[in-house]
Structure 1
Amino acid sequence: MDSLPLVSVIVPVYNGEYSLPTLLAALQAQTYPNLEILIVDNNSTDGTAALLQAQASVRYLREERPGSYAARNAALQVAQGEVLAFTDDDCVPEPNWVFEGVQSLSSDEFQLAGGAIQFRFSEQPRLAEWLDSCQFLNQAEYVNWGRFAVTANLFVHRRVFEQIGPFSETLISSGDSEFCRRAHAHGFQITYAEKALISHPTRKNLKALFRKSWRIGYGNGQLSAQNQEKVVNYLSWEAYQLKRLNFQRLSDMGIQLNFQQKLLSTAMNYGVVTLARNFGSLAGYLTTHRVQSVKSQANAANSEVAVDSASGR
């Protein structure tokens, strides 16, 4: 890889009028000089379009097909970079984010990198924030145990997309893990880029956390119905590493929980997060399986008609 390859930063956004200014300021403050920024408006109904069209340093795209993976794929079609960097509109990258991400791919050993994600808390964090931060978005464990990274902070060499194709647009979640797993199956390697740091807001209430967990479960159910391998065996040590409540993360971020708070978090993890994920997974599996069954029946009927036509019946 050249010393300073062109990097395309790709961000899907839906109704990001209030979150985008902070992200754009962080992207424009990057220390990496060879950069293009592509923001994909996924049918926003607020002032997102006007805000982005007024930004001379941003390439504004609009994708009407719903879903963040469809939006990312739309940007991939026009991106010029040798390296593709992905984040979300509510994230705030550190000034050296792109530089450190590119550095992690500077050798031929790795073609994907998952950067570090640090949570942003309220002044007085709530239970939902504790759960969110010690259950989700632990890139180090995702990379080391699951061989994937989330698109909130992901760097990919262009040749990976050229060889294995884009993200799956049928998934409402887990498209990043499916893509990384597909890349791994083709021999591409992923690394953890600890210094490529972004911050991400916590979910502020249990309702928001339930919806997030349900959506993740739904995506896993979709993958199961498509007969694709899960990221990990749910009964394995890897699954435990990915799904456990990692209270050490909170401690590392300066938040200390007492025994009662840890006990309450554990109870709510099973009562909210695990329950939502399981229901979401069942819904995703049944819906996808039903759609596939309808398509199979339609294909079989079309094949029978084609055979009858060929035989002159």
Structure 2
Amino acid sequence: MQISIIIPALNARSTLPACLAACKAQTLPAGVTSEIIVVDDGSDDGTQAVAEAAGVQLIQHAERRGAGAARNSGLAVAMGEIILFTDADCVPEPNWVAEMIRPFQDSTVQGCKGIYATHQPELVARFVQIEYEDKYDLLRPQPAIDFIDTYSAGYRTAVLQATGGFDETIHYVEDQELSFRLAAAGHKMVFMETAVVWHQHSDSLRRYFRKKVMIGYWKAQIMRRYPERIVKDSHTPQVLKLQMGLVALFLAVLVASVLFPFALIAAVFLLGIFMLTTLPFLQKAWRKDHAVCLAAPGLLFCRALALGIGYAWGLARPLLKK
């Protein structure tokens, strides 16, 4: 079996060396070979030189075209029967390839998703890690999933080629659109929590908030194509949707209280309900990181607010057709 590891890179000179070193140091099962393909998406910081020095296959875009286009360029030249994706700021564990390809021993499996880990000391980054782990708890019991993040992703090459790869008109969370498209076509995808890549999460509230706004914006675009996923998908906690609604109502009532002071009571009531919805997350966080647990209510409020702003923006400014 031949595996192709595709890494899109944009101004990744500082992070790409560790990623490539980890990819080259993989402990491969007997009979498995791998190739590493870096797609430089119009970098201007010397990313190309890093890839060349590492001796991996390099594809260059003359100008920025987006992560989806970069992955498609790698797919176009890949020789492997299984495609693995990771990002230029990720460092896979030595057994990452072996764990990622294990589910494909089942001929019905067409895609596989691994997980993030981090050693970061920053409070926001530690919160983000627990946020991911909360989603992993949701994915773990499911025999099939409908979303694969491309930081640790595997697909059968034939399936990607047959479905057209990534939609290059989507410039954020394009992996979500691809996953929903594969799921809609009946392709089975699974969760593999033993396939780990290390990552540097958003380490400040500003970066985290901006990222969530962008996720909300593009999520609204993608939901135009897959409205059935608004109700439920395999990776989004249902409580998150409730929290977004509560935050929107809280802010609306809070504004109304300027004219109608009695509305302030309703605002406090809504905030109290929001706090109650955070309790399951707080229980998980307390067992892992007391400081994150104490900060989590405010961070969860910011998450719901940012996603809500982005989603409303996406609804008001449609870019994608159904």
TM-score by length of 2: 0.77
Residue 277 of structure 1 is aligned with which of 307, 312, 315? Answer: 307
CA deviations over 1:36-95 (Å, ceiling 9, x no partner): 101111111111111112222x11111234211111111111111100001111111111
SS of the residue aligned with 2:317? Answer: helix
2:231 alignment partner in structure 1: 233
1:65-80 aligned at under 5 Å gives the runs: 65-80=64-79
CA deviations over 1:123-146 (Å, ceiling 9, x no partner): xx32x1233122247446357385
Whole-angstrom CA distance in 2 between matches of 1:267 and 1:158: 43
Identity across matched positions, percent: 30
Whole-angstrom CA distance in 2 between matches of 1:132 and 1:79: 33
Contact persistence 2:286–2:293 (CA under 8 A): no
Check if 1:62 corresponds to 2:60: yes
Structure 2 gaps of 5+ residues are 242-277
Are residues 102 and 237 of structure 1, via their aligned partners in 2, closer, same or farther at CA, if it must alter by over 3 Å? closer
SS of the residue aligned with 2:117? Answer: strand
1:16-31 aligned at under 5 Å gives the runs: 16-31=12-27
Structure 1 gaps of 5+ residues are 293-313
Whole-angstrom CA distance in 2 between matches of 1:214 and 1:236: 21
2:247 alignment partner in structure 1: none
SS of the residue aligned with 2:105? Answer: coil
Check if 1:266 corresponds to 2:263: no
Specify the code of the residue in structure 2 equivalent to 1:256.
Answer: D
1:257 alignment partner in structure 2: 290
1:310 alignment partner in structure 2: none
SS of the residue aligned with 2:167? Answer: coil
Whole-angstrom CA distance in 2 between matches of 1:43 and 1:31: 31
Are residues 248 and 23 of structure 1, via their aligned partners in 2, closer, same or farther at CA, if it must alter by over 3 Å? farther
1:15 alignment partner in structure 2: 11
1:96 alignment partner in structure 2: 95
2:264 alignment partner in structure 1: none
CA deviations over 1:149-191 (Å, ceiling 9, x no partner): 2000010011211322211112222211221121112121011
1:141 alignment partner in structure 2: 138
Whole-angstrom CA distance in 1 between matches of 2:179 and 2:316: 24
1:168 alignment partner in structure 2: 167
Are residues 236 and 51 of structure 1, via their aligned partners in 2, closer, same or farther at CA, if it must alter by over 3 Å? closer
Contact persistence 1:116–1:140 (CA under 8 A): no
SS of the residue aligned with 2:77? Answer: coil
SS of the residue aligned with 1:54? Answer: helix
Specify the code of the residue in structure 2 equivalent to 1:97.
Answer: W
Are residues 242 and 151 of structure 1, via their aligned partners in 2, closer, same or farther at CA, if it must alter by over 3 Å? farther
Contact persistence 1:133–1:250 (CA under 8 A): no
SS of the residue aligned with 1:276? Answer: helix
Whole-angstrom CA distance in 2 between matches of 1:48 and 1:83: 25
1:45 alignment partner in structure 2: 44
1:83-162 aligned at under 5 Å gives the runs: 83-122=82-121, 125-126=122-123, 128-136=124-132, 138-139=135-136, 141-142=138-139, 144=142, 147-162=146-161
Whole-angstrom CA distance in 1 between matches of 2:118 and 2:66: 24
1:306 alignment partner in structure 2: none
1:304 alignment partner in structure 2: none
Q: CA deviation at 1:210?
A: 0.8
Whole-angstrom CA distance in 2 between matches of 1:86 and 1:29: 16
Paired residues, number: 278
TM-score by length of 1: 0.79
Specify the code of the residue in structure 1 equivalent to 2:60.
Answer: R
Q: CA deviation at 1:219?
A: 1.2
Q: CA deviation at 1:248?
A: 6.8
Check if 1:193 corresponds to 2:180: no
